[in-house]
Structure 1
Amino acid sequence: MLAKGTQMELSNLTVGFVGYGNMAQAIAKGLVDAGVVRGKQIVACAGHFDKLQEATRSLGARPLHSAAEVAAAADVVIVAVKPYLVEQLCAPIANELSNDSTFVVSIAAGFTLERFSSFLPEQAHVVCTIPNTPIAVGQGVLVTESRDTLTDDQREVFTSLFSNIALIERVDSNQLSIGGTIAGCGPAYAAIFIEALADAGVKHGLQRASAYRLAAKMVQGTGALNIATGTIPAAMKDAVCSPGGTTIKGVAALERHAFRGAVIDAIDAVEG
């Protein structure tokens, strides 16, 4: 573990996961595949040790038996358990999570810095985030609470770790939930859209594999174009819709079936 006050170098960093489910594994895979850290720099604990051993094997990460062991070994502790387990697992190791050589990255939905402050000492270094699954392939989003208690060095390490595999989007505390819903739940909705486009392609004679590739690459490319140019989506849509052309006919069909409203309703359903 890095000594107190030492400038953290990624090559010497130990990243620990408290909880090693799908999202934690996506982050670990993204970090290793991008060359940010090596598998041997990752430690993790989870509820079922036998499953943890299997899950960590492919990256060469080290399975541990408890959150206390992870906190003792890691410079960065990623809290990756269900929200109802966060306080239960973190409160007993509050002292270990509050030393100057460790900082906590929460990926638990609904957890802000204010909630952590209710059971961790004020000297704890914490940043709250919500990631999404494309982080596994270096194309993720990490919605990040703008308020944190990291030191300048720790903030630099946080950025160096995650900017390699995700867009770090900082938002106010009261926007963490909606930001996380759009970025975190959005891949499921995008996947449904891709599947629907592919089904339509198959209906009209495309091979299934080809239809999936075309639809997925189109979504990827459209997002990349939007980010690269900063063009608003409405203008991107207009650029493809020639007067009396085929695309505007499809757009009109989507409008008749309340496509936009269905998407907004999906977000409303999550946010309550």
Structure 2
Amino acid sequence: MQKLGIIGCGNMGGAIAQSLTDGAIVYDSDTQKVDTLTRFAHIEAASSLQELLDKAQCILLAVKPQVLPSLYPILRQHNSSRKHWISIAAGVPLAVLEKELQTEQVVRFMPNIAASEKAAVTAYAGHQKCSAEHLAYAQNIAQSFGQAFLLNENQFSAFIGISGSAIAFMLQFCHALSMGGVREGIAYPQALQIVSATMNSTNALLSSSKQHPVALATMVCSAGGTTIEGMQTLAEGAFDAVVMQAVEASCEKSREMEAKAMQVRDTTEKR
């Protein structure tokens, strides 16, 4: 069985490490983060990046995208036909990872922050020449902290718009609903509890019924009732259009980041 090494013990790297039943070896320049993680018996601390690279067969890169360029020269020295890679760095395409790591055995993850609750939604995509075994291994890793969806890499920006960034949109919606409850006389903490429970019940209904969300919403709208009044207000405020524009804005930013990463790669190749 492969030993997984995780470089970076921030919110995402730490959550992934904790979710793995088979354990992992971790490294971070912030030793306090490593100490916090190694309180879990199944997580091993590497005293150095060198030690982690020596011990792990698969490396998960959980550092900020801007940190990767300083790591590439070190990582390349440890690459071989047996070394495999997973990256969660936003905006860093497989083509860049292939060039910098000098291998085709690379998989990209795009998780959301619910990994800490083992409820993340993660998109994953492998290099076109990545082995089926590594892709399956990466899928198992992703499923250890939530649900995983295999996508083409060119769909990652769309995924960010409807999941990676959208979890923030949904949290903002929860806050807005709760503030509406406050305006009508319910204290914010209790209003937020009610809204959170309603979100959970909505998800359960949507998942179990398999019906179109519009069909379900229509069932709630009685003729001349309270819900249709609120629905009209949402329509007048162009609710659907604003949500779609938010998705588009996040997608565009993601595409800009990937284009910039590719431009840096191309510039480096010409030197």
Give TM-score, length-normalised by structure 2: 0.82
Q: What's 1:251 paired with?
A: 231
1:104–1:126: 8 Å Cα contact kept in structure 2? Answer: yes
Q: What's 2:14 paired with?
A: 25
The number of residue pairs the alignment matches comes to: 251
Deviations 1:56-82 (A, max 9, x none): 244353333543332222233111112
Q: What's 1:269 paired with?
A: 249
Change (3 A) 1:149 1:138: farther
Give the secondary-structure state (helix, strand or coil) at the position aligned to 1:90: helix
- Quote how far apart the aligned CAs of 1:22 are: 1.6
Give the secondary-structure state (helix, strand or coil) at the position aligned to 1:108: coil
Q: What one-letter code is carried by the residue in structure 2 that aligns with 1:15?
A: L
Q: What's 1:193 paired with?
A: 173
Farther off after superposition, 56-65 or 83-92: 56-65
Give the secondary-structure state (helix, strand or coil) at the position aligned to 1:20: coil
Q: What's 2:78 paired with?
A: 96
Q: What's 2:189 paired with?
A: 209
Q: What one-letter code is carried by the residue in structure 1 that aligns with 2:67?
A: L
2:88–2:110: 8 Å Cα contact kept in structure 1? Answer: yes
Partners of 1:47 and 1:173 in 2: CA distance: 30
Change (3 A) 1:247 1:46: same
- Say which structure is richer in helix: 2
- Quote how far apart the aligned CAs of 1:95 are: 4.1
1:114 aligns to 2:103 (yes or no): no
RMSD: 2.3
2:125–2:150: 8 Å Cα contact kept in structure 1? Answer: yes
Give TM-score, length-normalised by structure 1: 0.81
Partners of 2:208 and 2:127 in 1: CA distance: 27
1:67–1:93: 8 Å Cα contact kept in structure 2? Answer: no
Q: What's 1:159 paired with?
A: 139
Match of 1:82 among 57, 61, 64: 64
Unaligned runs of 5+ in 1: 1-7
- Quote how far apart the aligned CAs of 1:146 are: 5.3
Deviations 1:202-221 (A, max 9, x none): 33233433322221122233
Give the secondary-structure state (helix, strand or coil) at the position aligned to 1:44: strand
Unaligned runs of 5+ in 2: 253-271
Partners of 1:66 and 1:248 in 2: CA distance: 60
